Amino acid sequence: MKRIAFPVVALTVALASGAALAQNLPLPAPSPRAMVMQTVGITEISIDYSSPGLKGRKPFGSLVPYGELWRAGANAATKVTFSRDVMVGGQAVPAGTYSLFFIPTAKSWTVVLNKNKDANTQAYQQGEDVLRFEVKPEKSPKRERMTYLFANTTDDATRIDMEWDEVRVSIPVKVDTGAHAAAAIQGHLDGNWRPLANAARYYQDTVKDLDKALALIDASLAVKETWFNVWVKAQILAGQGKVKDAYPLAEKAYELGNKDKYFFWKAEVEKALSEWKGKM
């Protein structure tokens, strides 16, 4: 019995090892995955797709039938990602990831962006389209594998080209880089009020240098006025004995703070308003 069991066990191990080897065996994929990315100004645009080959076949009007929805690649959905809001084919598209489809015909193609980023032709629902528009196909140098690339890229625009066989389909994309840059700059500046306010509190509470604290809090207020830095300035002025100047700032901090769900010093401001009023 033992002499019979050993070959059976050995055969089982061999079969299992063979299955694992088959799963891990690196072989060329019929339609390998590909990715391409382009920065336009400060906006990143990427395309994630699977790239089918001609292999002696005619793609459009045959392998890819005319008049039918095509997932713009092979295997999984073709995904297009925009890191910021853009204009695609003259239509506004919010930042995000979308599935890309084409409906080809001999004379014009329909470009489709769908908000279901994982949609394939079976899961596709037209009600989830973000946009549709038509483009004219152009002749291009022959390509064995379907390829996406970016062309004519500037700080404010680019062109997404799909090329396969001798056909090129172009998708125009525009980006308001000036507005995006201005918003980024403003956001960076707006964020600087807090470290300046914290530095002012440090000089007020720890170093006991109220003049330095006052200069820092004024710099914070010049960036952005919040209940927090208004209240810090009120405390600094009160610490200098300038209660008449501090009181209206405490009132303003209280007014601003009541509009903020994180008004964590509300009780302290209310107490100061009551105490300082008696010293006016």
11-66 tens-digit pLDDT: 444 444 454 555 678 888 888 899 999 999 999 999 999 999 999 899 999 999 99
pLDDT at residue 1, as a whole number: 45
Q: In what order do the strands lie in the sheet with 129-135?
A: 33-40, 43-50, 78-82, 96-104, 109-114, 129-135
Q: Where are the beta strands (DSSP E) in 136-190?
A: 138-151, 157-174
Give the pLDDT band (50/70/90) at residue 212: very high
pLDDT at residue 8, as a whole number: 47
pLDDT at residue 185, as a whole number: 85
CA distance 210 to 219: 14
Element (H, E) at 222: helix 210-223
pLDDT at residue 9, as a whole number: 45
CA-to-CA dists, residue 10 to 20, 22, 23, 24, angstroms: 15, 18, 20, 21
For the stretch 152-183, pLDDT in tens is 999 999 999 999 999 999 999 999 999 999 98
Q: Closest Cα partner for 50 from 98, 89, 100, 95? A: 100
Q: What's the helix, strand, coil split of the chain in %, to 5?
A: 40, 30, 30
CA distance 9 to 205: 77
Where is average pLDDT lowest: 8-12, 141-145, 243-247, 274-278?
Answer: 8-12
pTM across the whole model: 0.72
For the stretch 52-82, pLDDT in tens is 999 989 999 999 999 999 999 998 899 999 9
Is the confidence at residue 10, as pLDDT, over 70?
A: no
Is the confidence at residue 2, as pLDDT, over 70?
A: no
pLDDT at residue 31, as a whole number: 82
Please compute the mean of the pLDDT values over residues 2-14 and round it to a whole number: 46
Question: Are 175 and 86 contacting, i.e. CB atoms less than 8 angstroms apart?
Answer: yes
Domains and CATH numbers, the chain: 28-177 (no CATH), 192-277 (1.25.40.10)
Q: What percent of the chain has pLDDT over 70?
A: 91
